[in-house]
Amino acid sequence: MEKEAGPDAAATRLDDPWYDAPVPEWGEPDGPAGSVPEARPGQAAQQGHSAADIYLEVQRSAAFREVRRRYRRFVIPAAAAFLLWYLAYVVAATSAPGLMARPVVGALNVAMIAGLGQFLTTFLLTWAYARHARLHRDRAALELRWDTQEMTRGIGR
């Protein structure tokens, strides 16, 4: 490891670098290689809270649980329905070749229509997921994100 990362590799920090690394100004060097930046005053480390504590606090909050509940209320049924639809297509293709070979319109048969339906379902499900996220989760998740960033900076409530 020393050969690749250098002799200071053992001094690598494993905690969250987002709140304690000062932002270098334009043209300033990042500091000597292998140095560990110190936390700025007024940050979460001075309040006695680590980033892990803050994230655990947010994870236990009612707002976070609500965002996760809304996510699960859409994703679990949608994923189950799509998986059942896909499995029904595969099972029908392997166990009922006569049904799948039945012509519908011209050269199009049931198997081709169902296969194209798989693509259509994928696009519709993607659209529905993006719409659901935009209408039901994005604002609450963004508020949680801002609150978390404020807390990690030491500005939080």
Q: What is the pLDDT of residues 33-82, one digit of tens each?
A: 444 444 433 344 444 577 788 888 888 888 889 999 999 999 999 999 99
36-45, 61-70, 128-137, 141-150 — which is least confidently predicted? 36-45
What is the reported pLDDT for 117?
A: 95
- Tracing tokens 């609150």 back to the chain, one arrives at 147
Among 53-62, 111-120, 126-135, the range scoring the smallest mean pLDDT is 53-62
